[in-house]
Amino acid sequence: MGNIVLYMSVSLDGYMEGPGRDIGWHVVDDELHRHFNEELAAVGAFVEGRVTYELMEGYWPTADADPSVTGPTAEFARIWREKPKYVFSGTLRKAGGNTTVLRDVDPQDVAALKERYPGGLALGGAGLAATFMRYDLIDEYRVYVHPVVIGRGKPLFPESDTRTRLRLAESRAFGNGVVLLRYERHRGE
């Protein structure tokens, strides 16, 4: 059975996007992009909310058709196209190739997806992540902390009365100042 892994970039002060959905402060160079490609090429499928899906679908399906796009960016375009995608949305009516739209987060349906994809599921989107957290469905958090304080925006983690114990599984600093903090669910004492 695969794990559900949340992949998210945040500012040092905990925001996943700035005002107006700004993510221009993300510091993604070739080293970090290669890392993302290695990680995401290994997963079985992408699981996303509508906003994240539309952002990704608006660029990645044809990104490598642009002759100026090379290296890790072109490689990720191929990864994006080939992987199955599951989008949770109550409003999205149609989706691109290799994409299934699901209306509601049902823990039993999510368990079935985990069984179907032993390579794991890459979870994206703060709103969907909040729902998955509410249902206690996230097995691992891979938070990429970018070297910037943006002051305001959308926080990665909404307020909650739930406490989830985690165990640090890995930390890694990239040359551009981004730091990966990888936490797994704490199982047992």
What pLDDT band is residue 96 in, cutting at 50, 70 and 90? confident
Record the pTM.
0.92
Please provide the average confidence, as pLDDT, over all residues in the chain: 93
Strands (DSSP E) contained in the chain are 4-11, 15-17, 45-49, 85-88, 99-102, 121-124, 140-146, 154-155, 166-173, 179-185
Tens of pLDDT, residues 12-54: 999 999 999 899 999 999 999 999 999 999 999 999 999 999 9
Minimal CA–CA distance to 7: which of 171, 147, 144? 144
pLDDT at position 3? 96
Spatial distance between the Cα atoms of 46 and 119, rounded to a whole number of angstroms = 11
Q: Which pLDDT score is estimated for 188? A: 60
Given this model, what pLDDT does residue 189 score?
Answer: 47
Model confidence over 46-89: pLDDT tens digits? 999 999 999 999 899 899 999 998 899 999 999 999 999 999 99
